[in-house]
Every structure is written in structure tokens, then in C-alpha cells.
Amino acid sequence: MSIPEYHDSSGRRLVDYPRPSVAVDTAVLTPDPERGLLVLLVRRDSATRSDAWALPGTFLHEGETLAGAVLRSLDQKAGLRGQAPRQLYVFDDPRRDDRGWVLSVAHVVLLPPAVVAPVAEERPDDVQLRPVAEATGLPFDHDGIVEMAVAQVRAAYAERPDPERLLPEPFTLRDLRRLHEAVAGRRLQPDVFRRHVRDHLQSTGEATRGSVGRPAELFRHASR
């Protein structure tokens, strides 16, 4: 009969170690057809109405996962219901936060504009959407987080069609291409794009109707 080891390999009890606070900071990105990738910023101190905007974040609560903390912070700070945050990096400089010893785990979440835009419109004093190129001068390590988030999302979308499943199925190749253009931040040739993604998609046999030109074939994702 054995009890769990509440000590580390040198015999020191775990509870005797000082422990850091752990925070999460999240770059919520949304692809806008007009302005490319936008990042969501929240006012850092809503009491003072200061001009300091930052990425939403929070401290990790007991028994909570990092993803859970990310989703909670998005709900609290922006009234958003996100999903599937991805880890980017742990910022660990012991002196990065003058409130104490705080590790911050940076995350990225990609959400459809239909979900994010209304929040920014309803609460302009608290929530802002800004093109990623113009999101600089942020506090802490937030400039770097935005950069990593953009790189992560662009790499994922260059790899395969809509990996985050932002588009509701079924969709046309035009819809898919507009989404990818917003993520990439540049125009993509329709024919080249089509051949890029075609093998990963499955035709529904249906087509759009009532639109201006030739009807477009409707697709869904092939796998699964």
C-alpha cells in the first residue's frame, strides 16, 4: 500500500515550492473580406477609460484547463463564445509583470466575423477590431503574440481548405476563396485556388441558384 508522492525527486514537498500565477492571453482573429485579418482588442482598464488596448486575458483558476480559461476570458471580456483555442507560446520572464511572478500562455482563436463583429459594434468602449498590421504598440508581449497568431493561422490555411471550419457547409469555391483571401491578406487566382483545394473537397451534386452568373457547385469537406 502506497500513498502518492507529494514530493519531488529530491524529497522536497511540492507544496513547499513557491508557484507562479499562470495567465492566458489570446489573439482572437477574424477574417474580414474587406480588411483582411482583424484582431480583437479589449480596453485594459475599463474603469479609467484609458487608451490602453490589449489582448483579452485572465488568470488560470484552480481545476481549469488553459483552453477553459481562454474561453472564460473571451466570454467575460467580450461576451464571445469561442472554441478550439490553440497554444502558441509561454512567456516566462520572471519580471515581465510587475504585479508578481506570472507566466502567460499565449493562444490563438479564429472566429467567423458574423460572431465577432456584432460584439465590437455593441460595445465599442470595451471591444475593438483592428487589422493585424495596425495592432502594434500593445502592452506586455502582445505584439509578438499577434504576430505568432497570424503566422500560425496563415500557415494552417495555406496547408488545407478552411481547417478551422469557419464556413458553414455546403459552400461554393467562391466563398471558400474569399475566406482564404481574407486570411492570407491578398487576392488569390480563382483557377489556381480551385486546383489547390479541389482534392480536399467533396461535391454535393447541388449548385447555387438565382445568382447572377453561372451557378456554382456546392461542396463540403472531404475527410471524415
Site for DNA, rule CB under 7 A: 172-174, 189-192, 194, 196, 207, 209-217
State yes or no: residue 151 binds its own copies (CB under 8 A): no
Distances (CA, A) of 16 to 3, 103, 165: 18, 19, 45
Q: How far apart are CA 69 and CA 58, in angstroms?
A: 7
Residues in contact with its own copies, counted by CB under 8 A, come to a total of 39
Residue 55 identity (one-letter amino acid):
L
Given 32, 35, 36, 64, the residue binding its own copies (CB under 8 A)? 64
147 interacts with its own copies by CB under 8 A:
no
* Closest C-alpha to 127, from 80, 182, 185, 59: 80
For residue 58, the cross-strand partners are 24
| Nearer residue to its own copies within complex by CB, 63 or 205 | 63
Stretch that binds its own copies, among 57-65, 141-149, 174-182, 187-195 (CB under 8 A): 57-65
d(CA 31, CA 112): 7
Mask 85-124, x = binds its own copies (CB under 8 A)? Answer: --x-xx-xxx---xxxxxx-x-------------------
